[in-house]
Amino acid sequence: MPFTNFPHGFSNGISVRGMPILQTQPGQVYWVDNSVQLNPQARAGSDGNRGTYLDPFATLKFALTQTMPGRGDIVVVGAGHLESISSATTLLLTSSDVAILGMGSGASRPTFLFTTAATANIPVTGSGLSIQNCLFLCNFADVASVFTGISASVTASIASTTMTVTAVGSGTLYPGAAIMGTGIIPGTRIQSQTSGTTGGIGVYVVSFSQTFASGTITTGPQDFSIDSCEFRDISSVLNFVSIVTSSASAQAMAGLSFTNCVISSLGTTAATTAIKLTTATDRVKIADNFGCFAILNNTACMLAAGANNMTNFEFARNHLERPNTSSTGGSFISTSATGWTGHAYDNYLYQLDATAGIWIPTGTGGSFGFTNNYSPITGAVDKSALINPAAV
């Protein structure tokens, strides 16, 4: 916005109608609103507008193209806003350090309706992004994922803040993506591309000055935060299969945070699991969520990690229900890895397996702790839960 009563930003952060904006030093503020209910003197939303409160953009995709990676911009999405996600290109979460803040409550929250294709999803390429107070509805069968992490692998060198890419192994480079490699300063991000093939071989500006001899660099949407959102299936056959799916690069989604969300998962036709991480991932936080999932025996409802170790993993204060009668591999978290670190505490978990009664596999790691987690172990529907694993 060109004019503000707070020209020096918000040193202590800011909350709008109780919704916290995570960035403490925000940059520009953009508004998105295609609702038919207009404020006095406001124009209807259009991507040809200025993106202000009275002159909002019409789509979140266009608003994100106006942000600058690393500046800490805010995109406020108005109450009553509706967008349909019909493919993998409808909406791309790019840039970095941008907070997407939905206004309104209940059915008036910004709504993203998934239609048309099972492959419809929202690719996430930028790092440090957050999305808050939005509603996601599924109106197509077995939609694979709401958010999909996007990564790339290239051969490149860095001198000062200039990164020169000489070969692309896989994927596309995007401004805002975190870059990773042995010796690269953690948190380094792509700011812009100055020459070459868009997203490929060429010259880029990165956020931190450093020296990196030519070698392999990978990218990913690190520190992605989803907070106070709701994910709802329309029916048992119009359903999300997952909410977050990671890319294939190790640590590409390090710092993922999934908090204060509500999941109404009715799907019974596919292995529905809210978060699927296909590589080792550090600093994942899953906390303060409420979820009801349909019965899918031997399918973890919250996190599937495969053979990958989660390190510094936090799983806390979740209230989840999947009334499975068999929980091979865990009813709520599944993994075959044995080197986890972190802590699971104060969770309330409901399942009906009378044989194994486990919500997470045993042996996840000697440095992964459990405190005060409640889950039934008898398979009886009229019994209260016990501390599981058992207290000692």
Query: Does position 228 have pLDDT exceeding 60, yes or no?
Result: yes
- Contact by Cβ (8 Å): 205, 194: yes
Quote the mean pLDDT of the chain: 91
Residue with tokens 């978990």: 349
Query: Does position 22 have pLDDT exceeding 60, yes or no?
Result: no
Of 356 and 264, more confident: 264
Q: Is 150 helix (H, G, I), strand (E, B) or coil?
A: coil
Q: Is 239 helix (H, G, I), strand (E, B) or coil?
A: coil
Whether the full predicted model's pTM is greater than 0.75, yes or no, is yes
- Contact by Cβ (8 Å): 350, 321: yes
Query: Around 25, how many Cα atoms within 13 Å sit in the side-chain half-sphere?
Result: 3
| Phi, psi torsion values for 390, nearest 5 degrees | -60, 145
Given pLDDT bands bounded at 50, 70 and 90, which one contains residue 39? confident
Domain spans, the chain? 152-220
Query: Does position 375 have pLDDT exceeding 60, yes or no?
Result: yes
Find the mean pLDDT for residues 8-25. Answer: 56
Query: Does position 1 have pLDDT exceeding 50, yes or no?
Result: no
Q: Tokens at residue 385, please?
A: 């839960």
| Phi, psi torsion values for 64, nearest 5 degrees | -65, -25
C-alpha distances in Å from residue 170, one per residue of 187, 207, 247, 375: 21, 22, 12, 43
At 391 the pLDDT is 64
Q: pLDDT by residue (tens digit) across 75-96?
A: 999 999 999 999 999 999 999 9
Q: Distance of alpha carbon 256 from its chain centroid, rounded?
A: 6
Residue 244 CA to residue 276 CA, distance in Å, equals 6
Q: What is the DSSP letter of 77?
A: E
Find the mean pLDDT for residues 272-282. Answer: 96
Cα dihedral value 223, 229, 234, 239, nearest 10:
10
Residue type, 285: K
Q: Tokens at residue 46, please?
A: 């259009």
Find the mean pLDDT for residues 320-348. Answer: 93
Query: Does position 25 have pLDDT exceeding 50, yes or no?
Result: no
Q: What is the DSSP letter of 373?
A: -
Find the mean pLDDT for residues 250-274. Answer: 94
At 8 the pLDDT is 59
Query: Does position 173 have pLDDT exceeding 90, yes or no?
Result: yes
% pLDDT > 90, the chain: 79
At 328 the pLDDT is 84
Residue with tokens 């990958």: 308
State which H helix or E strand residue 212 sits in.
strand 202-220
Residue 177 CA to residue 193 CA, distance in Å, equals 12
- End-to-end Cα spacing for the chain: 58
* C-alpha angle 131-111-88 in degrees, rounded to nearest 5: 75
At 16 the pLDDT is 59
Given pLDDT bands bounded at 50, 70 and 90, which one contains residue 222? very high
The shares of helix, strand and coil residues in the chain, as percent rounded to the nearest 5, are 0, 40, 60
Given pLDDT bands bounded at 50, 70 and 90, which one contains residue 378? confident
C-alpha distances in Å from residue 219, one per residue of 185, 190, 240, 318: 13, 9, 26, 30
Find the mean pLDDT for residues 153-160. Answer: 97
Q: Is 293 helix (H, G, I), strand (E, B) or coil?
A: strand
CA-based Rg of the chain, rounded to a whole angstrom? 22
Query: Does position 117 have pLDDT exceeding 70, yes or no?
Result: yes
* C-alpha angle 317-321-324 in degrees, rounded to nearest 5: 135
Residue type, 327: S
Residue 361 CA to residue 339 CA, distance in Å, equals 12
Q: Is 63 helix (H, G, I), strand (E, B) or coil?
A: helix
